[in-house]
Amino acid sequence: MRSLLIVGGLAAALVTGTAAWAAGPRDDILAALAAQAKAEQPAFTGFDAARGKTFFQSAHSGGKPDTPSCTTCHGMDPRQPGQTRAGKSIEPMAVSQQPTRFTDQEKIDKWFERNCSSVLGRACTAVEKGDFITYLSQQ
């Protein structure tokens, strides 16, 4: 019984902790991306975590040869830390592991701009960005 209470307390702390600083900005960021996605693709109906997972794990073409995929640096499991090509550790991308992920617009813009260029050789679309954030928010 006591351990159940402890687990319950931890879960509550996790929920309130996350809600206190993360969900708001991320929801706003996703809403803005959804508006852009609708403008880019009139048939757009919503972001899709499964599509985001495929995008994250796939090897792409058109980018720089040393970085064919998000997983080149972030690894296949977003709940685990990644590693840059220069050997520096990267915090996990999964929101469950790193609750501040995708809450800072400037940081999001900076890394999508660089990494979409490195991996795809072009800017990412709003749908790709929204799918990516949706997938990692559920990890």
- Which residues form the interface with other proteins (CB under 8 A)? 9, 12-14, 16-17, 20-21, 64-67, 84-88, 91, 99, 113-115, 117-118
Minimum separation from the CB atom of position 34 to other proteins (A): 26
Taking the C-alpha atoms of residue 17 and residue 110, their distance in angstroms, rounded to an integer, is: 26
Minimum separation from the CB atom of position 32 to other proteins (A): 21
- Is residue 66 helix, strand or coil? coil
What value, to the nearest 5°, has the Cα angle with vertex 115 and ends 113 and 116? 70
Closest to other proteins by CB, 34 vs 124, is 124
Cβ–Cβ < 8 Å for 30, 114: no
Closest to other proteins by CB, 48 vs 80, is 80
Closest to other proteins by CB, 2 vs 88, is 88
Closest to other proteins by CB, 57 vs 97, is 97
Minimum separation from the CB atom of position 86 to other proteins (A): 4
- Is residue 45 helix, strand or coil? coil
Minimum separation from the CB atom of position 112 to other proteins (A): 11
Taking the C-alpha atoms of residue 115 and residue 32, their distance in angstroms, rounded to an integer, is: 20
Q: Extract the tokens encoding 50.
A: 């499964």
